[in-house]
Structures are given as C-alpha cells and as structure tokens.
Amino acid sequence: MKFMQTIQAYDVNLFLWVSQRKSQRVLVRGARYISKTGDGYLYLVLGLALAWSGQPEESALLSCLLVGFALERPLYFILKNLCRRDRPQTALNIPSFIIPSDRFSFPSGHTSAAFLVATLLSFFHPALTPALVIWAVSIGMARVVLGVHFPTDTLIGALMGTLLALLSLEIQLT
C-alpha cells in the first residue's frame, strides 16, 4: 500500500508542477489542438482510407487496427469503471481546461488509442515511426496539461495501447 501512496504522491506532484508552468497559456493552446487529434475522427478517416486503398498491406493494417480497438475499447472501459480514479479537477479541486467525456481518469483512453495506432502504423510503415511516437507521446502530455489526467493515467494508457497493438499483430499475422 505504501508503494501506491508513493506513486500517488509522485503523480500529484508532477501534475501540480505541470499546471504551474509560466508558459501554461501556450502549452494549453497547443495541448487542445494535439488532444483533438486523438478524439477519434482521424482514426475513422484512417480506417476509411485504408479500406479504400485496396492494397493487401493496408488491408492487413486495417484488420490489426480493428482487432486492436476491439480489444482496447472494452478493456479501457472496464479498467476505468473498475478503478474509478477521480480526475485531477475532482481529486485536487483544480479546474481543467476542457470538459472530459467521462468522470474517471484511469487509464487515459486518448493515450491508449494513440499508442495503439502509432504502434500499428509504425509496424507497417517504419519510416513514420519517429513522427508517430512524437504524436502519441504528445497526446499523453496534452491530456496532463489540459488537467484531465494524472501522468500515470497516460503512462498506463501508453503501455496498454502498445501491448494491445502487439497482441493484435500476433492475432492477425499468425
């Protein structure tokens, strides 16, 4: 239990440090834009483009994405409602910069989905890996800057998305 208290204390302190930066206005403006790229619309456009391409490799990528999201979304929902961790605005009584889509913060669904997509796209298109990693990490950081997640929410979301992407590759390609 002491270990979890230590993690919680670290998490709160890091969150408070981020929220007190002098450049917060600039960070928030950028974070809003980056966070919106993880709202799901781009994933739908990506899926439609992959389906429309008709290329075998892109069809395989689309299959992996569909399996990945079929695993990720239910797991995300189960964990979020099982853990029921309050968002920073509730836990610390600090206003967030956006209105979250639900009540609980753990794990970060935006981060999980971004890492799922980034990992799968990187597997099929390795040249895009640096940009995809920067984008996925930026999604997680944006969620903390916007005040809707603690850092560990995004860390676990990143781990979950990456592992589920690898699992979907294993399921689809073997």
What residues are annotated to the active site?
110, 149
- DSSP reduced 3-state for 104: strand
Residue 86: what are its φ and ψ, rounded to 5°?
-65, 145
Q: 38 vs 13, 43, 113, 172, 174, CA distance in Å? A: 26, 8, 7, 24, 29
Cα separation of 95 and 107, whole Å?
A: 19
- DSSP reduced 3-state for 54: coil
Rg (CA), the chain: 17
